[in-house]
Structure 1
């Protein structure tokens, strides 16, 4: 599958997810989150062997934008759906923050339980 087809698929999926997600004025929107991580798609789906500078810049920008509990929960749910729709390789998704040298509570994982993630963060 070409990168262009995958990119279009992710964009369409992001629009569908955003239509389902409840949005608030100050929250990070699902399309924003997906757009910031779009440069990571080739790596996350196994089409590239390494992350790119634009990928890490997008991941870092997203990390900086997610500030509230509401942001964490909505962005987690968004990325969970996006990862499943794009057939992201779970091990690569888990490796992304380390490869980009960022610390973030947001996994890009189709198997994450966003509710328990939020509870774990509140205990810290």
Structure 2
């Protein structure tokens, strides 16, 4: 009888240890999104040309970090809100970044993107 109680207690302690020590995935934030795409700012507010390599590195890093649908929706929302709120951005240049950087993202970089449809 005592061994059953000890076994159950051990199982509970092991389960608690696993839950407490499990690494938690950090949620996508607009600060993270903006930090990755900050190197693109001069490009999207200018007249074009080649996309700077730090900009491409940022979009690739953001794409790799947005592993779940909620992460992708958050990234989309952050980007569309920023595009709506900043004057002087070239929308065509913004939309061209993924293609020029050879990165597939599941939504169009545009102020009019419906982020609720992102998967």
TM-score (norm 2): 0.71
Q: How does 1:1-124 map to 2 (within 5 A)?
A: 26-46=26-46, 49-87=49-87, 88-116=89-117, 118=118, 121=119
Change (3 A) 1:54 1:33: same
Report the CA distance between 1:106 and its aligned residue.
Answer: 3.8
- For structure 2, list consecutive stretches of 5 or more residues without a partner in the other structure: 1-24
Q: Deviations over 1:43-94 (max 9, x none)?
A: 1112553311101000100000001111111111111111122233221111
- For structure 1, list consecutive stretches of 5 or more residues without a partner in the other structure: 1-24
Contact 2:107 2:113 in 1 (8 A): no
Structure 1 runs, 4 residues or longer, greater than 4 Å off: none
Contact 1:28 1:66 in 2 (8 A): yes
Contact 2:98 2:105 in 1 (8 A): yes
Q: Deviations over 1:79-117 (max 9, x none)?
A: 11111222332211111001111111143211111113x
* Whole-angstrom CA distance in 2 between matches of 1:62 and 1:73: 12
TM-score (norm 1): 0.68
91-100 or 81-90: bigger deviation: 81-90
